[in-house]
Amino acid sequence: MLSYWENVSFINYDLIIVGSGIVGLSTAVKYKKRHPSATIAILERGVFPSGASTKNAGFACFGSISELEDDLQECSEDEIVALTEKRYRGISELRKLLGDEAIQFEPVGGFELGFDPSACDRIHYYNGLLENVFPSAPFSEVTEDLKNYPFSKKVIHLIKHQFEGTIHTGKMMRSLIDRASELGIRIYTGCEVKQLEFDTNPVRISTVSSQQTVEFRASQIALCTNAFSSSLLPNLDLEPGRGQVIITKPIPNLNLQGSFHYHRGYHYFRPIDNRILLGGGRQLDKSGETSLAFEPNDIILDQLKDDLQNLILPGIEVGVESNWTGIMAFGKSKNPIVKKASENVFVVARLGGMGISIGAGVADDLIQLLETQ
């Protein structure tokens, strides 16, 4: 039973956001700046954001050529352009919101490792397709630079995306949390939403925290829980996709700069603090990785370790320090879901593994919906 003080001071808000990931925090901060008098709370089921916002590789990426080739099997050219615009706009919004220093943004470029030369034949096509998205042609062949990298001889070509880069995921999320706190936005962690009453005014949302059920109330609710949204909105076109990540022990004299992709973007790696952070491989066991459980997948982890030893740093003894997983969301459409679920309930989900790139941008789209009420 709540006390009188708790009922009058902590329960009622103008806007409650479920999920303290990139989208949830970006939405809260931007909405509060536009509506300074609004009372806002964020409910987070974990101690930290529970999907992928603190578990990703920190790539500011927009799609390699082989990824775009894959997307063209399901999307039109116009859809590819629109998706890429969303990603580029989202990174621009994130940088503008927090500043490059706060998120440790480094414009190191994105490099696609190739095992046959055919992708290079498509550089001119994609530069033309995306000419109105980027300030200049994004893609160029830099195969001659392979001599500067330690990669296996299996890698026979290299394509650079000059506008891609990296961020420090931890610093980005801490900066978002700090900004929210400065604005008076309340964040409740360890607070799992169990029930949402859509048709009440104000909307009622029941949570469980420390074995206690608490009912919050708000004029508007925004669900920013990506793959976990299906527990409250089961009819969404939404499928979880787990991502495996490993990080090495420190590697003496590691001289590597950039962000790297291969196998149609399913695999990716980057240097960080004299280590290699390597992740992906979901395509090796898609059914096994269609899961909301934060568990390792030995099939994929073994392949990542093999890639590390035989493809990325062959001949160099490398130890793995730790591994973890993140949960993303996918669906039949490549476009994120940003929609009204009921009169005062809204949802953002299905970020397609591109949360860093599109998170701050789709927050703007969500705010537009909130403001039309």
**Tens digit of pLDDT for each residue in 230-261?**
999 999 999 999 999 999 999 999 989 999 99
pTM here is: 0.95
The 10 Å Cβ neighbour count of residue 280 is 24
Q: Is 264 left (phi over 0), alpha (psi -120 to 50) or beta?
A: left
**Among 209, 201, 244, residue whose Cα is nearest residue 44:** 209
Helix (H) or strand (E) holding 287: helix 286-289
> Does the domain spanning 239-330 belong to CATH 3.30.9.10?
yes
Amino acid letter for position 325: T
pLDDT of residue 211: 77
Domains 4-54+171-237+333-371 and 239-330 fall in the same CATH topology: no
Q: Are 231 and 26 in contact (CB under 8 A)?
A: no
pLDDT of residue 1: 82
- Evaluate if residue 119 carries a pLDDT over 90: no
- Determine if the peptide bond prior to 117 is cis (ω within 30°): no
- Choices 3.30.450.80, 1.10.287.1080, 3.10.28.10, 3.50.50.60: CATH for 4-54+171-237+333-371: 3.50.50.60
Cα 322 to Cα 65, 170, 319: the distances in Å are 30, 16, 9
Q: What distance in Å separates the CA atoms of residue 158 and residue 142, rounded to the nearest whole number?
A: 5
Q: What distance in Å separates the CA atoms of residue 162 and residue 140, rounded to the nearest whole number?
A: 8
Domain ranges (residues) in the chain:
4-54+171-237+333-371, 65-167, 239-330
DSSP type of residue 250: P
pLDDT of residue 201: 87
